[in-house]
Amino acid sequence: MTALISNPPAAPVQGCSERTVLRERGQREVFCGLTGIIWLHRKIQDAFFLIVGSRTCAHLMQSAAGVMIFAEPRFGTAIIEERDLAGLADANEELDRVVERLLERRPDIKLLFLVGSCPSEVIKLDLSRAAERLAQAHAPDVRVLNYSGSGIETTFTEGEDACLAALVPDLPQAEADATPSLLVVGALADVVEDQFARLFAQLGIDDVAFLPARKADAMPAVGPDTRFLLAQPFLTQTAQALARRGATHIPAPFPLGAEGTTAWLKAAADLFGIDAQRFETATAAPAARARKALARYREELAGKRVFFFPDSQLEVPLARFLNGELDMAPIEVGTPYLNKKIVGDDLAALPEDALVSEGQDVDRQLDRCHAARPDITVCGLGLANPLEVEGLTTKWSIELVFTPIQGYEQAGDLAELFARPLVRRTRLEV
């Protein structure tokens, strides 16, 4: 499998015009998009995610979710069996039967996602038609949408992207009143969402909504007056779907750390014509708190060399934060997919000697990691313990997705996630 170095498209980004990106093809040690269901089903509280897939899909969900704390979670797998492969018509009938039983059992479900998987994609089971059919059968109590979380099409967080992109055509049309409204896009922890809502209110931006909403019937309206900020960097398709509805993207760095959060809020504030004084008043105190929280960790983390294996597409913004706000040195910043339109600001802020790599050949990347011997390696759960055995400190990348890390009040928590593994090593005497 050849690794090819290719130049990025001509569009220059400020500061660093020609960054070489290492593009690799080989074994990718990443989750598929189904994994996003683990946080999405907690976020949208009356939605159910029905994976149409194999035993492997069900096993993945169980293994990635870690503990089975919910008796009946709001996700499940319709496992395709041998007889379903015999005839597609039967597979559709089977699916209808499974959905019928599921909805009978769970009358609290208002929104059902049929989630495509590798096997359902390969056998070309048409879930969009199935969703239409089932939507008609169960209207108006339940809406039925579909998206693919298959590994052949999506990497980890791209599952959330596909889910939100599927929601967009279904969002209500915003009234055309020519007053711009703000939409914050990407699943955030409720506590973070509430903090941002308060900050926008203090800035004087009143018409703010979040996608996804916590309830299926509370999804925000969208239209040509909608301006949207991405709260997560992996929402390429969702951003395109919103653009098709006439909404406008507000490019910004991502709200990680004090500076990232300020820049993110500022991008919206500028667009909404908020004056500098008001911005300063609203953000000064929380930004100062965030800087204070970070100062403590900067002592521990400054100068430490960090290596990112690709995982969530959060890698570039995270590397920007670690470098820009904690003085850490990114050696390699691996990302499964690099969308320069979305992470351009963060990418431009990375030091020039940081290698940005896209895609993966895990064995070659491990060779580079071994050679570089970073102080901390951000990687998936399959790689972490074997690297620790070799004396390399690791941080599980999945925790950066499951933990609230965005915004001023979480800046210290985010830094702590990197500091703790390093501190732990210094404490242990055996």
Binding site for another protein (CB under 8 A): 1, 26-35, 52, 54-56, 58-60, 62-64, 67-73, 76-82, 84-85, 91, 94-95, 97-98, 101-102, 118-119, 121-123, 150-153, 155, 363, 380-386, 389
> Contacts from 247-253 at CB under 8 Å and sequence distance 24+?
247/183, 247/222, 247/223, 251/341, 251/342, 251/344, 251/345, 252/345, 253/317, 253/320, 253/345, 253/346, 253/349
CB of 59 to another protein, least distance (A): 4
Would you tell me how many other CB atoms lie within 10 Å of the CB of residue 166? 21
CB of 306 to another protein, least distance (A): 21
CB of 62 to another protein, least distance (A): 6
CB of 238 to another protein, least distance (A): 19
CB of 16 to another protein, least distance (A): 29
Contact 184, 210 (CB under 8 A): yes
Nearer to another protein, 344 or 359 (CB): 359
CB of 139 to another protein, least distance (A): 22
Cis? peptide before 351, omega within 30° of 0: no
Nearer to another protein, 4 or 68 (CB): 68
Please give the C-alpha separations between residue 18 and each of 21, 65, 160, 313, in angstroms, as whole numbers: 9, 40, 31, 21
CB of 63 to another protein, least distance (A): 6
Residue with tokens 């708190």: 289
Nearer to another protein, 62 or 173 (CB): 62
Tell me the C-alpha distance between 262 and 252, whole Å.
10
Q: Which of 94, 155, 108 is CA-nearest to residue 335?
A: 155
Nearer to another protein, 123 or 276 (CB): 123
Nearer to another protein, 65 or 250 (CB): 65
Nearer to another protein, 60 or 287 (CB): 60
Non-local CB neighbours of 293 within 8 Å, separated by 6+ positions: 411, 412, 415
Q: Which of 188, 118, 177, 83 is CA-nearest to residue 407?
A: 188
CB of 381 to another protein, least distance (A): 4
CB of 52 to another protein, least distance (A): 8
Nearer to another protein, 108 or 275 (CB): 108
CB of 72 to another protein, least distance (A): 6
Non-local CB neighbours of 29 within 8 Å, separated by 6+ positions: 309, 360, 362, 380, 382, 383
Contact 68, 62 (CB under 8 A): yes
Residue 308, token pair as written in the block: 């990112």
Burial of 299 (C-beta count, 10 Å sphere; 0-12/13-18/19+)? exposed
Residue 93, token pair as written in the block: 């009938």
Tell me the C-alpha distance between 270 and 349, whole Å.
21
Nearer to another protein, 91 or 241 (CB): 91
Nearer to another protein, 90 or 194 (CB): 90
Tell me the C-alpha distance between 430 and 422, whole Å.
15
Nearer to another protein, 219 or 362 (CB): 362
Please give the C-alpha separations between residue 3 and each of 25, 357, 380, 393, in angstroms, as whole numbers: 6, 10, 22, 27
Contact 84, 94 (CB under 8 A): yes
